[in-house]
C-alpha cells in the first residue's frame, strides 16, 4: 500500500517529525542518503529503534522512495539548508509529476525558497516553505509551524501539519499559513533572530549576577525562577534555571562548558536583510557579535593579561536587573516585529502580527507570556513601541537599565544586548539628532544632497566652500 507522506533526512529533526506524524496515524516512507562507512541503513535502523516507526517504509534509493508514495506525492525535506537542498530537489524533480508537493522544512533563506518555488512551478510541482520551531522536543511533541506558499500547496499539507502542531494557551493550533512565497521561512528567520537576542539578554543577566552580585548558580537559578513566575515567563528562562542547577559527580555542568557560542545562518541572514532595507536591528547584531567574539578565545586570553579589571561593589537589586531585562526584551521584540511589518507591506504578504504572536506562543523556542501580552497590541497597525502602556513601561524601566549598565561599565563587564536596547530607545526618543551633520558631510564630499527644513521634500545640493 502506498504511503501518505515521505520524509527525507533522518537527522534529529527529521526523525522527530517522523515519529510525531507516525504517532498521529500517518503512514510514512523514510529516506536517508547512503554513504558507505558513515551513513548506511539509517532509515531502516530508526524503524527498528522506535515502536511508532515500525510500520514506516525505509529507503536508500530515491526513486524507490518516491514510487512508494500515494499521489499527489507529499515529500518533506529536512536536510541542511543551502546547496544540499538544491541538489536534492534536482534529484527529485525528474521523479515527480505535476501536482506533487515538496515541503522544505529546514532553515532555508526565504529568497532561496522563492527561487526554488519558481523553478518547480515551471514543472507544475507545488512547494511549501515551512518554518519549524521547537527543537527536538517540539518536533516530537508539538511544534510551532509557519507555512509560506500558494493556498493550493498549503491545502495539500494542512492535514499533516495540523496533526503535529502544538496547542496555544487558548487551545488553537500553533500553525499558520503566513502568506505567499518565502513568507514562512522569512518569519522563521526573524523568529531565530529574536531568539538570539533573548538568549544573549539572559546570559548577560546571569553574568551580572554571578560576577558583580556574587550569587552562586543555585541563587541565580532561584532569581530566574522567580522572574519566570512573573510577567517575564518564557521557555528560555525556564531552561536556563534548569541548566544552572544541573550537576553530576564532577560538579556543575556549566563549569565544564567552554565559553564559545556557535551560530547558524539565520541570525546573520536577518541582520543582512535588515541592513539592506534600513531596519535598525541592533539587538540581533549585538547578540551575533558577542557570539563571534566568544570564538576568539586565544585572542581574549592574550589580551586579558593586559586589561586591568577591578571589581567594585554594586548596589543593583535583582528587581532592578529584572527591569533592565524586561526593557531589553520589549526592544528586541519591537525591532523584529517592525521588520516583519515593513517586509510584509513591501512584498504584499499581509502578515498578521497578532496571528504570529499566537503561533509563537506555544511549541517554539521563544514562547513566552510577553508574546501573549503583545497579541492584542499588534492586532492591526504596528504602533511606535507597541502602544501607550508599553511606552510608559519602558520609560519607567529606563532608570534601572541605566543603573545596571553603569555598574557593568564601571567593572568592565560588557552588556552589549542591554546597551543596544538602551541606545536604540534613546535614539528613537531623540527628537533632534546629529544626522543633519552626517548628511551635510555626505553632501560636501559626494554631492549627495540634503533636505532643508523649510523644504523637507526637495533634495538640495548645497554650494559648500571648497
Instruction: Supply the residues annotated as catalytic.
Output: 188, 195
The grid cell for 22 is 507516525
Cα gap 39→42, rounded to integer Å: 6
Strands 251-252 and 247-248: antiparallel
Q: What is the DSSP string of 117-165?
A: HHHHHHTT-EEEEEEEESHHHHHHH-BEEEEES-HHHHHHHHHHHHHHB
What are the DSSP E strand ranges found in 312-412? none
Strand partners, 76: 7, 103
List phi, psi (to 5°) of 224: -65, -35
Measured CA to CA, the distance from residue 19 to residue 141 in angstroms comes to 9
CA 122 distance to own-chain centroid: 31
Contact 352, 375 (CB under 8 A): no
Which of 284, 104, 77, 331 minimizes the C-alpha distance to 190?
284
First to last CA, the chain: 82
CA distance 226 to 41: 47
CA neighbours closer than 13 Å in the CB half-sphere of residue 371: 28
Q: Hunting for cell 501539519 — which residue is that?
A: 161
| Contact by Cβ (8 Å): 195, 283 | no
How far apart are the C-alpha atoms of 371 and 106, rounded to whole Å?
24
Q: Which residues pair with 75 in a beta bridge?
A: 6, 102
Are the C-beta atoms of residues 127 and 115 closer than 8 Å to each other? no
Amino acid at each position: 500500500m502506498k504511503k501518505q507522506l515521505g520524509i527525507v533526512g533522518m537527522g534529529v529533526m527529521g526523525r522527530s517529525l517522523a515519529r510525531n506524524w507516525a504517532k498521529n496515524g500517518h503512514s510514512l516512507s523514510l529516506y536517508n542518503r547512503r554513504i558507505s562507512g558513515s551513513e548506511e541503513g539509517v532509515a531502516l535502523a530508526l524503524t527498528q529503534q522506535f515502536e511508532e516507526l515500525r510500520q514506516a517504509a525505509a529507503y536508500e534509493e530515491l526513486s524507490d522512495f518516491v514510487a512508494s508514495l500515494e499521489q499527489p506525492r507529499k515529500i518533506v525535506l529536512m536536510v541542511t539548508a543551502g546547496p544540499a537542498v538544491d541538489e536534492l530537489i534536482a534529484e527529485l524533480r525528474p521523479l515527480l509529476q505535476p501536482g506533487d508537493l515538496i515541503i522544505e522544512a529546514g532553515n532555508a533563506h526565504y529568497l532561496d525558497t522563492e527561487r526554488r518555488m519558481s523553478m518547480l512551478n515551471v514543472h507544475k510541482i507545488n512547494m511549501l516553505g515551512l518554518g519549524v520551531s521547537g527543537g527536538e522536543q517540539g518536533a516530537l511533541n508539538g511544534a510551532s509551524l509557519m507555512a509560506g506558499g500558494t493556498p493550493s500547496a498549503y491545502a495539500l499539507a494542512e492535514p499533516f501539519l495540523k496533526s503535529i502542531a502544538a496547542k496555544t494557551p487558548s487551545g488553537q493550533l500553533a500553525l499558520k499559513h503566513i502568506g505567499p512565497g518565502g513568507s514562512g521561512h522569512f518569519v522563521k528567520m526573524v523568529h531565530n533572530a529574536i531568539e538570539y537576542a533573548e538568549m544573549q539578554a539572559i546570559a548577560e543577566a546571569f553574568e551580572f549576577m554571578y560576577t558583580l552580585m556574587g550569587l552562586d548558580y543555585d541563587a541565580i537559578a532561584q532569581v530566574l525562577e522567580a522572574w519566570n513566575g512573573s510577567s517575564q515567563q518564557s521557555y528560555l528562562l525556564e531552561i536556563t534555571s534548569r541548566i544552572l542547577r544541573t550537576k553530576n559527580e564532577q560538579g556543575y555542568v556549566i563549569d565544564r562548558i567552554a565559553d564559545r557560542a556557535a551560530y547558524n545562518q539565520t541570525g546573520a541572514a536577518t541582520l543582512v536583510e535588515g541592513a539592506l532595507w534600513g531596519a535598525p536591528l541592533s539587538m540581533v547584531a549585538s547578540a551575533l557579535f558577542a557570539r563571534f567574539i566568544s570564538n576568539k578565545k586565544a585572542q581574549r586570553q592574550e589580551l586579558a593579561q593586559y586589561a586591568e579589571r577591578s571589581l567594585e561593589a554594586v548596589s543593583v537589586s535583582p528587581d532592578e536587573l529584572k527591569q533592565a531585562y524586561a526593557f531589553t526584551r520589549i526592544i528586541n521584540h519591537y525591532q523584529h516585529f517592525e521588520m516583519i511589518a515593513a517586509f510584509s507591506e513591501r512584498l504584499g504578504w499581509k502578515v498578521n502580527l497578532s496571528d504570529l504572536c499566537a503561533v509563537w506562543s506555544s511549541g517554539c523556542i521563544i514562547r513566552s507570556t510577553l508574546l501573549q501580552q503583545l497579541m492584542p497590541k499588534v492586532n492591526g497597525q504596528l504602533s511606535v513601541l507597541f502602544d501607550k502602556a508599553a511606552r510608559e513601561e519602558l520609560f519607567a524601566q529606563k532608570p534601572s537599565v541605566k543603573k545596571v549598565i553603569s555598574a557593568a561599565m564601571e567593572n568592565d563587564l560588557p552588556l552589549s544586548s542591554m546597551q543596544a536596547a538602551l541606545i536604540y530607545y534613546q535614539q528613537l526618543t531623540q527628537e533632534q539628532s546629529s544626522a543633519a551633520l552626517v548628511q551635510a558631510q555626505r553632501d560636501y564630499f559626494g554631492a549627495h544632497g540634503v533636505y532643508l527644513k523649510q523644504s523637507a521634500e526637495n533634495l538640495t545640493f548645497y554650494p559648500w566652500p571648497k
